[in-house]
Amino acid sequence: MPREDDPLISIITVNWNGKKYLDDLFYSIEKLDYPQDRLQVIMVDNCSDDGSVSFVEKKFPGVEVVKLGQNRGYAGGNNEGLKRAGGDYIALINNDCIVDPGWLREMLSIYKMSSEDSKIGAVGPKVVFYWPYLPLQIISGSRDSGKDMRRLGVKITDARVKYPGSYTVRKIEGDRWASSEIKYIEGFYPAESDGRGRAFRWTSGNALMGIPVFDDERETCLEIKLSSEISPNMVSIVAGDKILEEIKVGKRPRWIKLIITPEFYTSKKDIINSCGVKVNHSLYSMDRGFMNFDEGQYNRVEEVFALSGASFMMDRRMIEETGFFDSYFFTYYEDIDLLWRARLKGWKHFFTPNALVRHHHCGSGSEWSYNFTYHVLLNRLLMIFKCGWLTLFARSQAAFAASGIINAFSHFIRLLRRMKTERIDIGIRFKIFLKLTYLLLLFLPERIRIRIGKKISDSRIKEWFREF
């Protein structure tokens, strides 16, 4: 219901070749429990060539489209939106998201807690992955074997699930297979690479996967390629309290096809993408709850160190005092950099579970691609240099250099053994190490400005460091 005191809110989304997501995003914004005449919706387009601009201008004429002549990334794109935002509050949302009807109003309600002594700068929602997921257990009867002291289960060389042709976002003609939507929740060892550069995963004796449920009324077709170091190994695949398949697996890889009927979907749950952001003592960040099934473990309003850039709302006064995103960051860590700077000015940030966003995650990019790795590694160091104390940066820089040397040596040994391996981070680390020699001089005036202008002590920041 509209209220007389509803403030004007600006909503900003940055788009780059994300046309396939925009229909769902703007439709969900139109369904918000908030008066449309108190909303300013802005799409900043980073020089897309997929018809995004003409699509939005035709189908959603109420959206203000800002066309940029080049791709300025998340940071630069949002800064262009911030220049045009007229709202008392400004909400950011990724183009590959949809929002719950209460998204804005629930975040707005948190600002009523604010006071002169406890000013709230940003509020973030619960962000979950786009689809609901069916928990699927893979249980094997193996024991520790040979020289490998891990409790090995089975080896998953590939797993894929079929998209139905009626899939609402990508508008696919006919069905197709995908593996990226499957989530490996727990009981899996880190992904490894064989001698030919192909990735695989080992399970422990009991592992938990998340299988996307695309359509409540249609069967889900899942195929998994399994093998086992111990042969034969009895494997059970379980959904809910029912066994879908019991099969013997040996050393030779074998495809197993499973048809999951809708009766099993009563066990489906959301998987958390972010319930706010935490940082460790080395200033690596992690989304709270990431890749865990939502069991209600984050169902209370809490203060957090920072928030996921996928979606959060800011008080205009915080932006006016702190400044915009650092456009040099382009993408990744620009959100934590901004919110850390705001904390140094005395602003606090909160998470509310009552606002909900569904997120495709990396809809406009590929996780651990060259660009992803480069910006994550570089921007973290720049953020620490700008906002942190010198010993923290010195320790981080030394650890970065040591890690680069160790990884390069390990890679060289594997090459001598003629073992194929992909380590794009080695060249990236060397490039960053050289680039920092002049970037630190470039960012020195900004560091001085931030450190001189801070209103709280570094000990207050340290209180937020967590072990992980």
User: Could you tell me the pTM of the whole model?
Assistant: 0.91
Residue with tokens 């923290």, as numbered in its chain? 392
Select from 350, 392, 134 the least CA-distant residue to 263: 134
| pLDDT at residue 59 greater than cutoff 70 | yes
Q: What is the pLDDT, as a whole number, of residue 170?
A: 43
- What token pair was written down for 393? 């940066």
Residue type, position 347, single letter:
W
What 8-state DSSP symbol labels residue 405? H
Q: Is 440 exposed, middle or buried (0-12, 13-18, 19+ CB in 10 A)?
A: middle
Contact 419, 198 (CB under 8 A): no
Is there a contact between 312 and 123 (Cβ–Cβ < 8 Å)? yes
DSSP reduced 3-state for 236: strand
Helix (H) or strand (E) holding 350: strand 348-359
Q: State the sign of the Cα–Cα–Cα–Cα dihedral 60, 61, 66, 67.
A: positive
Q: How far, rounded to the nearest angstrom, does the alpha carbon of residue 369 sit from its chain's CA centroid? A: 14
User: In the prediction, which pLDDT does 192 show?
Assistant: 82
- Tens of pLDDT, residue by residue over 285-311, are 999 999 999 999 999 999 999 999 999
Q: How far is CA 373 from the centre of its chain?
A: 14
Is 239:156 a contact under the CB 8 Å cutoff? no
Q: What is the pLDDT of residues 396-434, one digit of tens each?
A: 999 888 887 887 777 677 667 666 566 677 888 889 989
Residue 314 near residue 107 (C-beta atoms within 8 A):
no
Is 90 exceeded by the pLDDT of residue 1? no
pLDDT digits (tens, 9 = 90+) for 71-127: 999 999 999 999 999 999 999 999 999 999 999 999 999 998 877 667 999 999 999
Kindly report the average pLDDT of the chain as a whole number. 90
- Integer Cα distance of 189 and 195 in angstroms: 18
200-248 tens-digit pLDDT: 999 988 999 999 999 899 899 999 999 998 878 889 999 988 999 999 9
* DSSP assignment letter at 7: P
| pLDDT in the model for residue 5 | 84
CB 138 within 8 A of CB 237: yes
